Structure 1
């Protein structure tokens, strides 16, 4: 790939580490001292900690959770995953058709809490308790086109699980971590009127290349919607595209990368898609130390900037005493330094746009692509 515009696949965002040493994730799980909590009662907290599993239920939408192949990601999903990590337990994230069902699961004890946009009156009618998923920081959601009514709903207000969760999200508000997470999942990555143009492109061009995307994705165990999102980011699905730096084709391969991937004709869309998928798969292998689903984001940045550039950033993150294999640390580094480094700014835009295109393509595909 080339340094200014390249590609990737198998998207999905991993957990944001809860370590207090991470400035970006100064999320505290303990807002209330445990000696002040009535531990004699059997709360959800006990079963979660002892069972090493946190079950969360939500309706699938652009604010809470979005499925990408075998993975899940989204603002709400990652926030819940962060909380689970802070408790050192596994997150089990379930989706249901509507908010009423999600609330019912909490009432029946089938889920430890729900992430919902239900009206507060509806929540109170079920005798449940809720608080803002952003500790009232609705501007972070509003500015990024996310639903400002997102709440976490628990069965008991005095359950330590609800109390520590409340402290967790409020610390996230204070540290700026919630705002940054929302910025990654922004629905405003392109101007609203541009989606009509994007949809026209997809309607005209996607049917031509859909089979190649699907066949190649299956070969490398990738999501074909993601390959298509990369292709759209790279060339708007135009196989004869050429950049000023010499990259060309639907997946915009450099000449050297094309040769290394066995591509003899970069303007042949089938070969280009094959070359892009193969290279992205190699990036996944290159960063095998990064756990899934974070590895997908690392591979995308490496596809765009080159793996050597990612290696250097990882070294700097490690030197700061942070986990170099955690996506939020890499994303935070790129965000902090993008004003002085155009490559970082481009990498942030690259990954964010592909994520948005992926979601749009997947949704549109269910309708008319």
Structure 2
């Protein structure tokens, strides 16, 4: 930080010296009375040149310094300008149910996904800096280490630090609480007048965006394992059944490049880890494979736990490959939806979104489409719950909260 500040001061002194040199009167003009008329014309040209040069120097100085150190003309560069110059939106955040989840490479979360959507609209990438508590994240924003903060900090704390914030629900807090999310998830900025803050407000409170925010909140529902029965059933199953199959999950995960706990979450969603499970439609085993899928994956015995887990792992890997053009953060949700309803169904939705100019590689947009059309297609509702449940089970397994 000292080096950055020194560069800022040195650059400012250098700019001042160059400006002083440009503004210094010409000795030839001051000492020669016989050239008065030509001098007047020269002065006009010189004034124009000086103004142009001064603007150039000021622009170079403004763009070359970090936002937190820049005080040229006593005006701090807006965070928006810094973000657009660097093509990066840096956020300070505290991990949590309503902000973001990042364990073993599974980086996602309600607040985080909203930030990614905002960054996409700005045409920049996201860099996330994690902090242990709300105050640390807000002070990082205040000091210029971040462009905005994603927290559930109190209004009192933000006021004490003289920061401005926007609730991501844009006042519709009930849409968050009904999904078990914190009602005061907010984006915080150094100034309400910064275009970064103003554009964020328009982004969050736009009627279409607000509707999609509420749908995204449903995907990140935190209430699935909150009731006593669900908690007890999940805990009992993992305690009593998982030890018999854990080595199979771990080995097949290595074989097909998966996180083994993701496969466990899928197994619980499919059969509650019951190797002999059979559905009315004829799917069987821990991973509930259809007869056709089992044959295609080389599975001869669907109720054999090792084969079933291997078949499911191999099929999931194929789904991930089918959606390799989707950003990694969202790819697993696409793959899970395809595992449940078939890859062609998901790609069909993508084509419809793309035709409307909507980003078809954003899971938030796919989920919104499923939600909007579930009444006319029951498979859409099933896929929504399938992916949401696995996400919830995975987070619970990794955080050991049950």
TM-score tier after normalising by the smaller chain length = 0.7 to 0.9
Would you say the 8 A contact 1:137–1:173 is kept in 2? Answer: no
Matches within 5 A, 1:73-92: 73-92=108-127
Deviation at 1:191, TM superposition (A): 6.0
Distance 1:71 1:126, change over 3 A: same
Which segments of 5 or more consecutive residues in structure 2 lack a partner in the other structure? 1-73
Q: Aligned partners of 2:321, 2:209: CA distance in 1, in Å?
A: 36
Does 1:176 pair with 2:211?
yes
Matches within 5 A, 1:199-214: 199-214=235-250
Distance 1:133 1:337, change over 3 A: closer
Matches within 5 A, 1:141-220: 141-171=176-206, 175-189=210-224, 192-193=227-228, 194-220=230-256
Q: Aligned partners of 1:275, 1:219: CA distance in 2, in Å?
A: 11
Deviation at 1:211, TM superposition (A): 2.4
1:130 alignment counterpart: 165
Distance 1:249 1:229, change over 3 A: same
Q: Name the SS of the counterpart of 1:54 in structure 2.
A: strand
How well do the aligned residues superpose, as a CA RMSD in angstroms? Answer: 2.2
Would you say the 8 A contact 1:55–1:91 is kept in 2? Answer: yes
1:324 alignment counterpart: 360
Deviation at 1:275, TM superposition (A): 0.9
Deviation at 1:60, TM superposition (A): 0.8
Matches within 5 A, 1:1-369: 41-171=76-206, 175-189=210-224, 192-193=227-228, 194-364=230-400
Deviation at 1:227, TM superposition (A): 0.9
Deviation at 1:309, TM superposition (A): 2.2
Distance 1:158 1:100, change over 3 A: same
Q: Aligned partners of 1:311, 1:181: CA distance in 2, in Å?
A: 20
Distance 1:85 1:62, change over 3 A: same
Which segments of 5 or more consecutive residues in structure 1 lack a partner in the other structure? 1-38
Deviation at 1:103, TM superposition (A): 1.4
Distance 1:97 1:294, change over 3 A: same
Q: Aligned partners of 1:172, 1:56: CA distance in 2, in Å?
A: 25
Distance 1:94 1:209, change over 3 A: farther
Greater helix proportion: 2
Q: Aligned partners of 1:131, 1:317: CA distance in 2, in Å?
A: 29
1:34 alignment counterpart: none
Could you say which structure has the larger radius of gyration? 2
Deviation at 1:257, TM superposition (A): 1.4
Greater RCO structure (CA 8 Å; 6+ sep): 1
Report how many residues are paired.
329
Q: Name the SS of the counterpart of 2:187 in structure 1.
A: strand
Distance 1:191 1:104, change over 3 A: closer
Q: Name the SS of the counterpart of 2:150 in structure 1.
A: strand
Moved more, 229-238 or 197-206: 197-206
**Partner deviation per Cα, 1:81-137 (whole Å, 9 max, x = no partner):** 111111111101122211121112112211111111122112222222222122111
**Partner deviation per Cα, 1:25-60 (whole Å, 9 max, x = no partner):** xxxxxxxxxxxxxx9641211111100111111111
Q: Name the SS of the counterpart of 2:328 in structure 1.
A: coil
Q: Aligned partners of 1:227, 1:249: CA distance in 2, in Å?
A: 14
Q: Name the SS of the counterpart of 1:333 in structure 2.
A: helix
Question: Normalising by structure 1, what TM-score?
Answer: 0.83
Q: Aligned partners of 1:322, 1:103: CA distance in 2, in Å?
A: 33
Q: Name the SS of the counterpart of 2:361 in structure 1.
A: coil
**Partner deviation per Cα, 1:250-283 (whole Å, 9 max, x = no partner):** 1111122112212222112122111111000001
Q: Name the SS of the counterpart of 1:360 in structure 2.
A: helix
Q: Aligned partners of 1:119, 1:180: CA distance in 2, in Å?
A: 25
Distance 1:328 1:42, change over 3 A: same
